[in-house]
Amino acid sequence: MNRKYFLELADYNTWTNNIVIEWLDQITDEQWEENIISSFSSIKRTVTHIVSAEKIWIDYWENVPDPVFLSAGFKGTKNDLIKIWKESSACLKDLIERYPEEKYQQQVTFKWPGGREGRMEFWQTFSHFINHSTFHRGQLVTMLRQAGFTKLTSTDLATYYRVIS
């Protein structure tokens, strides 16, 4: 676990988010809002959850006072959400470039959904961040297919390594 590895994962996360954003730019408002059975009830709600989680983890790592989980009250448009997602992706790489490696094993304090306080080492929260986004982007692939969107491409980590080399 070192900065180079974390930067690679941050780059992978941004690369994959950008692919998903390209897909979202191609779907209709009806597909965006369609009720689909999954962890969340629509593509919109799933994307809102991903963006909310990515943003709040960055806020926790940056020690932002009283960070707010975006999905708790987000009322913006798809384009508003995509803009926040792009900004969060850029912030992630910037944060990793600045985050001291000696702090990778230090505790990060955060709030679980529901308000209970939690603590994990930075490297654990970063691993969770990447895994969480990957999990829900996988759900988006299935949801997009169910909504009739089939112009999908691989967002696998192995595909990323092949594409960038």
Amino acid at residue number 72: A
Q: Measured at the alpha carbon of residue 101, what is the angle toward residues 138 and 87, in degrees to the nearest 5? A: 45
Residue numbering of the annotated binding site for a divalent metal cation: 49, 132, 136
Q: Which residues are annotated as a binding site?
A: 49, 132, 136
Amino acid identity, residue 2? N
Structure tokens at 152: 């999908």
Question: Locate tokens 């965006």: which residue?
Answer: 32
Planar angle of CA 135, 112, 2, nearest 5 degrees: 60
Sequence-distant (6+) residues with CB within 8 A of 113 are: 69
* Unique residue bearing structure tokens 């996360």: 13
With residue 67 as reference, give the H or E element that holds it: none
44 within 8 A of 32, measured Cβ to Cβ: yes
Q: Please report how the helices 122-146 and 43-61 are oriented relative to each other, as an axis angle in degrees rounded to 10.
A: 170
User: Which two structure tokens, joined as six digits, stand for 81?
Assistant: 């959400």
